[in-house]
């Protein structure tokens, strides 16, 4: 069975750590996140909010590339995914390719490595939609 994990949560909740742990738990597992788009060749993270749609499209494209590769059995995408519409392209992709979707919600508070301002985290918290309302593990 091929499985796509959508690992969601606020900044600093442990999404990246969970996604990486899932990826290493299975031969043929990979973890990706939209934030990788903002890491330059020098390894330095520089966020540019005006390029966020481009970063999300890049992440979806990389997910699709991985899901179409022979030997890949698990892809874990770490992203805030605060609302259903943000997850829908991944859910549709998994349906199209015959992958099972599982959403995991991270609720830890480990501090965020990208210095996201508290008011931005609060805005995410205010628009949060429960994962149980729209993703089934029975695909």
| 100-121 tens-digit pLDDT | 999 999 886 656 655 666 777 6
Res 91: pLDDT: 96
The pLDDT-based confidence of 138 (bands split at 50, 70, 90) is: very low
Per residue in 1-40, is it b (16+ CB within 10 Å) or e — as a string? eebbbbbbbbbbbbbbebbbebbeeeeebbbbbbbebbee
State pLDDT tens for residues 25-43: 999 999 999 999 999 999 9
> Which region holds residue 136: left if phi is over 0, alpha if psi is between -120 and 50, else beta?
beta
């Amino acid at each position: 069975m091929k499985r796509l994990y959508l690992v969601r949560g606020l900044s600093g909740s442990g999404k990246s750590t969970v996604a990486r742990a899932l990826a290493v738990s299975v031969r043929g597992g990979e973890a990706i996140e939209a934030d990788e788009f903002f890491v330059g060749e020098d390894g330095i993270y520089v966020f540019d909010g005006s390029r966020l749609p481009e970063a999300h499209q890049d992440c979806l494209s990389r997910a699709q590339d991985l899901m179409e590769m022979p030997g890949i059995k698990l892809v874990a995408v770490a992203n805030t995914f605060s609302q259903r519409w943000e997850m829908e392209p991944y859910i549709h992709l998994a349906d199209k390719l015959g992958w099972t979707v599982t959403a995991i919600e991270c609720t830890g508070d480990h501090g965020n490595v990208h210095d996201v301002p508290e008011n931005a985290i609060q805005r995410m918290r205010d628009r949060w939609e429960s994962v149980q309302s729209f993703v089934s593990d029975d695909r």
